[in-house]
Amino acid sequence: MADTVASRNGTPAASAAGFVWGYRYGLLLVVLPLLLIAGGKAGFVSNFQFLQLSLMIVYAIAVLGLNLLTGFNGQISLGHGAFFAAGAYTAAILIDQHNWPLWATLPMAALVCFFAGYLFGLPALRLEGHYLALATFALAVAVPQILKYRHLEPITKGVMGINVFKSDPPFGLPLSTDQWMFLVVLAVAAFMFWIARNLLDSRTGRALIAIRDHSMAASTMGINVAHYKAVVFGISALYTGLAGALHGVIFEFVSPDSFRFELSIAILVGAVVGGIASLPGAVIGGVFVQVIEKYADALTKQISAAVQLPLELDPWLIYGIVLIALMYAMPTGIVGGMAVLWRRLKAMRGL
């Protein structure tokens, strides 16, 4: 399963991943947030909209983590919500029980999740395809229960969860908390995407892709498959855990109910819908995760108001239909679909 995932999927999305991170994009990354903040000051962009933007970026980081594992290394995971939770709890516990400042908790959460991922990745080496799917599925289901484990309760606070105090903007910056968090999240994301980009361009990145495309061939070329696979699991968990830490801080609250199995599914769906082996695909996936449910909910209400149905309309019905329609129209995700569309347009102009 894992092999086919990647080999069939790689090409169109990867070609679309030829996203140039030149200075123009760097400039955009500075100008755009400044414009948004100015918009916020002038009252065009509300705090709630900043929250929405922050969440899209947070999910984009989480999806990127899964992308590195599944898209670029061919290992499937139905359980990335577990690492998301690990990151969130690490940050929450450090802030709440040890009074750490926000900036210090993020590297710590990343580190903890890297090791968690690496350790999970080691036995997972022997598991491929469906077996890995089961192991990660199990992880996602088990995590909320582990958080409630009696002997961990003094640290995790069990079912009641932990309230986290969000840090106010430092140095007396004239920003609202939401605007400040948006900037923090954006900076972290830009940094992490830059790292991912460089990683994939490096020797390591080429080794990962070689393993995905043909692990046996890769090992004959002298690539230490076991080592790379476990490390990439760790890196992937690091990304998703970092996203979790930011998520916990944004909401000022973590609890076992915040990180149920549905979260893992949402991350997986985001990765696939965006485009599985592509950095821009991760951004699109993050946006998708954040908006789809609200969209489905709103649409459901409109339909229910417009027509009298003999049954209760459920937003998840719309959600399911959207997923199937998207996969039908763009089997390799939105980025892949765009690439195909772009080539067709070019071909038409060529004629």
Partner 1 sequence: MGLCKTLLAGAGALALAATAASAQKKYDEGASDTEIRIGHTNPYSGPASAYGQIGKTIEAYFKMVNDKGGINGRKITFITYDDGYAPPKTVEMVRKLVEEDKVLFVFQTLGTPSNTAIHKYLNGKKVPQLFVATGASVWGKPQEYPWTMGWQPDYQTEGIIYAKHILANVKDPKIAVLMQNDDYGRDYLNGFKRGLGKDADKIVQVATYEVADPNIDSQIIQLKNSGANAFFNITTPKFAALAIKKAHEIGWKPAHYLNNVSASVGSVMKPAGLEASQAIVTAAYLKDPTDPQFQNDADMGTWRAFMDKYYPNGDKTSAFTTYGYAVSSTLAEVLKRAGDNLTRENIMKQAASLKALEVPLLLPGIKINTSPTDFYPIQSVRLQRFEGETWQLFGDVLSNEAD
Partner 2 sequence: MEQLLQQVGAGLANGAIYASLALALVMIFVSTNHINFAQGEMAMFSAYIAWQFMEWGLSFWLALPLVMALSFTTGVVIERTILRPLHGAPVLSVVVVFIGLLTIFHALAGGIWTYTIKAVPSPFPEVAFPGSGYIGSHQLGMIGVTVIVLIALFTFFRFTPLGLAMRAAAQNPASARLAGISVDWMLALGWGLAAAVGAVAGCMVAPAVYLEPNMMASILLYGFAGALVGGISSPGGAVAGGFIVGVLENLIAYLGNVVERTTGLYIVGNGEKLTVALVIVIAVLTLKPSGLFGHVTVERV
Which of 130, 206, 227, 343 is in the footprint of partner 2 by CB under 8 A? 130
Q: Determine the residue type at 281.
A: G
| 3-state SS string for 204-231 | HHHHHHHHHHCHHHHHHCCCCHHHHHHH
CA pair distance 124, 239, nearest whole angstrom: 19
Q: Does 317 bind partner 2 (CB under 8 A)?
A: yes
Which of partner 1, partner 2, none lies near 33, with the C-beta cut-off 5 to 8 A by kind? none
CA pair distance 63, 109, nearest whole angstrom: 17
Stretch in the footprint of partner 1 (CB under 8 A) among 26-34, 179-187, 221-229, 307-315:
307-315
Q: Does 165 bind partner 2 (CB under 8 A)?
A: no
Which of 52, 54, 90, 332 is in the footprint of partner 2 by CB under 8 A? 332
Per the CB < 8 A criterion, the answer to whether 290 and 283 are in contact is no
Q: Does 169 bind partner 1 (CB under 8 A)?
A: no
Q: Does 126 bind partner 2 (CB under 8 A)?
A: yes
Alpha helical stretches, state H, the chain: 2-16, 23-42, 47-66, 80-98, 102-124, 130-147, 153-156, 177-201, 203-213, 215-220, 225-251, 261-274, 279-306, 315-329, 333-350
Pick 162 or 200: Cβ nearer partner 1:
162
List CB contacts of 180: < 8 A, sequence separation 6 or more.
168, 169, 173
Pick 201 or 257: Cβ nearer partner 1:
257
Which residues lie near partner 2 (CB under 8 A)? 1, 4-5, 8-9, 70, 76, 123, 126-128, 130-131, 133-135, 137-138, 141-142, 145-146, 148-151, 216, 265, 268-269, 271-273, 276, 311-317, 319-324, 326-328, 331-333
Which residues lie near partner 1 (CB under 8 A)? 46-48, 51, 55, 141, 145, 148, 158-161, 163, 247, 251-253, 255, 257-258, 260, 262-263, 293, 297, 310-312, 314-316
